[in-house]
Amino acid sequence: MFRLDGKVAIVTGGARGIGAETARVFRDAGATVVTWDVADGADALVDVTDVVAAAKAAAAVAKEHGRIDVLVNNAGILRDAQLLKSKGDEITGMMSEADFDAVISVNLRGVFACTQAVAPTMIRQHSGRILNASSVVGLYGNFGQTNYVATKAAVIGMTKVWARELGPKGITVNAVAPGFIDTDMTRALGEEQRSALLAQIPMGRLGSAADIAATVLFLSSDPAGYITGETLHVNGGMYMP
């Protein structure tokens, strides 16, 4: 139903997981897809935190394909730790500055760098779709994820700003906030932890990469052309803002 025939899309973090599934779904919908990642399997090795590298990569896509219609800012990393870990009154650990900076760099600076790199082409076309990956934890917080939650909350704010700035140019900007998705990380949970997690989800199951990819496809398609500045929650009812 939702087609991207003739469209050119960039998916960051597209070598695996949700990014790889999004690229597959886009191709099935008729799009030409270029995946950016620092991992093997991507169409182009691009460090999304490098503003110059992102600009060069975007220029290369525009030159080869003549246009860029969709940008999916999916690349992200985790470096979980408590702000401070204590036993009694004694501090026994903390989130390192390096781990805080690494997550901010990829998950937030990377979204900024890639959007700034791609937007000029979309402005010249007077059309485009930008999709930013947020998370349910960016809305309600999550223990041990100061850095990750900060980026996912900030992405929602940037999405609203860019929707206002780029809307007059015919460009929509939206965010997708997944709940807990069936990944290697959630599969590694113990039975008790998994049961406790599922008990919080009215639909009684974890989400899948396909659930998220389908949502991104919809927001990238022509029928979603009047939706902008929104965060679409895909969490099985776990969190209802």
- The 8-class DSSP code of residue 106 comes to I
Measure the CA angle with vertex 39, ends 37 and 45; round to 5°. Answer: 45
Q: Within 10 A of 139 (CB to CB), how many other CB atoms are there?
A: 19
Query: What are residue 103's phi and psi, to 5 degrees?
Result: -70, -40
> CA 225, 227, 229, 230 torsion: positive or negative?
negative
The per-residue b/e assignment along 47-79, b for 16 or more CB within 10 angstroms, e otherwise, is bbbebebbbebbeebbeebebbbbbbbbbbbeb
Amino acid at 118: V
148 is catalytic: yes
Query: What are residue 72's phi and psi, to 5 degrees?
Result: -110, 105
User: Pick the catalytic residue: 140, 148, 226, 239?
Assistant: 148
Q: Which residues are catalytic?
A: 148
